[in-house]
Each structure stands twice: as C-alpha cells, then as structure tokens.
C-alpha cells in the first residue's frame, strides 16, 4: 500500500519576520566599502572635533591670570578662574563694576576659550535704581539673542553698567556680530554699546 503524505501548507509571513528582513536590508544598505565614510559619520566626527578643546585648560587658566595681572594685580587676589574643556567660570568679588567688566573681557581674550560664565559679585554696589535698570537691559538683550536663530548666544557675555552695554565673546561672522550689536542698540534706556567681541 502506498502512503501519501499530505502537502505541507505554507505558513503566512508574520510581521516579526518582515521586520527582521527590513532591518537586515537597512544594515546591508548602511555598509560602506573600506575607507569610505558615510556623510552622517563625517558630520558627527567634525562636530566632535569642534567641541574638543584646542588649547589645554591649564594654559587657558594661565593666560587669564597673566592678563589679569597685567591689568591689575588686585584682580587675581579678588577673583577666581575655573576652566573645563574651554568653558571658563569666573567667581569672586570685584571691587566695582569696571573690574568685573575687565575680568570678563580679558577672559575672552585667552586662546581656546569657548564660553565664559560670569558669577563675579560686586562688593561696592551702585544705587538700587541703576542696578535695576542694568538688570532689565541685560534680561531684554539676552531674550533677544536667544530668540534670534542667526546668533549663537553662548558665544557672548553681556555686562551692563550704568546703562552702558559691554558685549564680549567670539563672533562666528561679521553678520552675526552686527545682529548682536543691533539688538543692543535698539533697546530703550541703553546709553552706549561697547564692543569687545573677537572675530
């Protein structure tokens, strides 16, 4: 007697199998020949290189202390510097607003500085009304820079003393710098804008 085996039924392809096949296809499509780099990987590599500090933090610290000493030996005794991957934190008590402005301006002059965080206090505060006006100007200008998509606001420091706005930092282009200065000039109550920005 001849036995007849039933035909095997095909199973439907499940969603899991389809997902696995699609994933393998994406992996194979992403493979590059040796020596070739995908545009995305190249972009990530370039961004990582841009973030890496070109100048060691210890050298940045030394430069700032030297610049401060040349300006006024008192600055080094009253103020402190902390550097982390090119970002500079300034702390301490300045004698007056002018010393605070000079400290930030000189910090931006050091090679390799990517950002300056100013936490310097002023021992001899000016009148309450002047301080309130200066704080108002600072707040308005920061808001304008943050809302401007053409400006990288973290590249700048702003100090306002007696309604005079001091802008310090590093501009990516002349167009960006002009936009920053224009924002400052357009604010009410600003008597003068002083530009200490490097390009």
| Domain ranges across the chain | 52-125, 127-199
Q: Is the dihedral of CA 173, 174, 177, 183 positive or negative?
A: negative
Whole-model pTM?
A: 0.63
pLDDT at 151: 95
pLDDT at 113: 95
Please give the CATH architecture assigned to the domain spanning 52-125.
Answer: 2-Layer Sandwich (3.30)
Contacts of 166 (CB under 8 A, 6+ apart): 101, 104, 105, 158, 159, 160, 194, 196
Give the dihedral of Cα atoms 175, 56, 87, 180; nearest 10 deg. -10
Element (H, E) at 184: helix 174-186
Task: In whole angstroms, give the CA distance from residue 150 to residue 133.
Answer: 27
Q: Is the pLDDT of residue 83 over 90?
A: yes
Residue 107 pLDDT grade (very low, low, confident, very high; cuts 50, 70, 90): very high
Between residues 35 and 182, which one has the greater pLDDT?
182
What would the pLDDT profile of 135-149 be if each residue is shown by its tens digit?
999 999 999 999 999
Task: In whole angstroms, give the CA distance from residue 158 to residue 22.
Answer: 52
Please give the CATH architecture assigned to the domain spanning 127-199.
Answer: 2-Layer Sandwich (3.30)
What would the pLDDT profile of 152-188 be if each residue is shown by its tens digit?
999 999 988 889 999 999 999 999 999 999 999 999 9
- 127-199: same fold as 52-125? yes
pLDDT at 43: 62
Share of the chain above pLDDT 70, in %: 70
């Amino acid at each position: 007697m001849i036995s007849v085996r039933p035909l095997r039924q095909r199973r439907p392809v499940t969603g899991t199998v389809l997902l696995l096949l699609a994933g393998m296809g994406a992996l194979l499509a992403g493979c590059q020949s040796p020596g070739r780099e995908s545009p995305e990987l190249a972009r990530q590599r370039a961004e990582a290189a841009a973030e890496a500090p070109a100048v060691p933090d210890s050298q940045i610290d030394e430069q700032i202390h030297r610049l401060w000493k040349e300006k006024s030996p008192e600055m080094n005794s009253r103020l402190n510097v902390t550097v982390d991957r090119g970002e500079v934190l300034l702390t301490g008590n300045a004698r007056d607003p002018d010393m605070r402005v000079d400290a930030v301006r000189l910090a931006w002059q050091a090679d390799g500085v990517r950002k300056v965080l100013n936490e310097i206090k002023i021992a001899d505060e000016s009148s309450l009304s002047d301080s309130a006006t200066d704080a108002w100007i600072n707040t308005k200008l920061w808001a304008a820079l943050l809302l401007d998509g053409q400006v990288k606001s973290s590249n700048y420091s702003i100090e306002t003393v007696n309604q005079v706005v001091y802008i310090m930092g590093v501009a990516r282009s002349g167009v960006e710098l002009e936009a920053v200065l224009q924002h400052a000039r357009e604010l009410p109550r600003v008597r003068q804008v002083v530009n200490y920005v490097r390009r």
